[in-house]
């Protein structure tokens, strides 16, 4: 009798959980992409910007997080007067996070006044990429 009551109680609890949605599978996590852009070549930057745009078009801009991390020679394409400045601004407006490595800026004697005003900054670009990968972000290097 006790065994039957225990079984009925467990069955009722399981039914309640399923009816309230507590037993459903969790939603898939939002896709996240971190891109390394360390080349000072406008063509590479345009490729990276195309990759970001295509990911947003395919998945939906609000359904994917994209972060571009610039360091080394790639930092030059984030200057306010760079040939890619308009495309970088468009990417940021569409939700892409674009960050510059402050270590590289210091080594190249760049200050924030030299840079595109829409970008963000991280202390170390490589560490930012490592941290994102540890958080489960997909790594892309166009």
Average pLDDT over the chain reads 88
Q: Residue 116 sits in a domain of what CATH number?
A: 3.40.1260.10
What is the predicted pLDDT for the residue at 47?
97
d(CA 104, CA 94): 26
Residue 53 lies in a domain: yes
Residue 23 lies in a domain: no
For 119-128, what is the mean pLDDT? 98
Residue 51 lies in a domain: yes
Residue 16 lies in a domain: no
What is the predicted pLDDT for the residue at 9?
44
pLDDT tens readout for residues 101-115: 999 999 999 999 999
Residue 7 lies in a domain: no
φ/ψ of 78, rounded to 5, equals: -105, 5
Tell me the whole-structure pTM to 2 decimals. Answer: 0.80
pLDDT tens readout for residues 29-68: 899 999 999 999 999 999 999 999 999 999 999 999 999 9
CA trace torsion 47, 48, 50, 51 (10° rounding): 120
Query: Residue 6: exposed, middle, or buried by beta-carbon count in 10 A (0-12, 13-18, 19+)?
Result: exposed
The percentage of residues in the chain with a pLDDT greater than 90, rounded to a whole number, is 80
């Amino acid at each position: 009798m006790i065994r039957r009551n225990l079984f009925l109680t467990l069955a009722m609890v399981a039914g309640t959980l399923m009816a309230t949605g507590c037993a459903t599978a969790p939603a898939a996590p939002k896709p996240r992409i971190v891109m390394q852009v360390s080349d000072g070549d406008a063509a590479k930057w345009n490729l990276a910007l195309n990759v970001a745009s295509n990911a947003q078009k395919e998945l939906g801009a609000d359904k994917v997080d994209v972060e571009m991390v610039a360091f080394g020679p790639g930092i030059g394409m984030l200057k306010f007067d760079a040939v890619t400045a308009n495309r970088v601004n468009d990417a940021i407006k569409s939700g892409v996070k674009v960050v510059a490595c402050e270590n590289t800026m210091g080594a190249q004697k760049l200050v924030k006044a030299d840079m595109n005003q829409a970008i963000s900054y991280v202390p170390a670009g490589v560490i930012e990429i490592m941290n994102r990968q540890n958080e489960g972000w997909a790594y892309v290097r166009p």
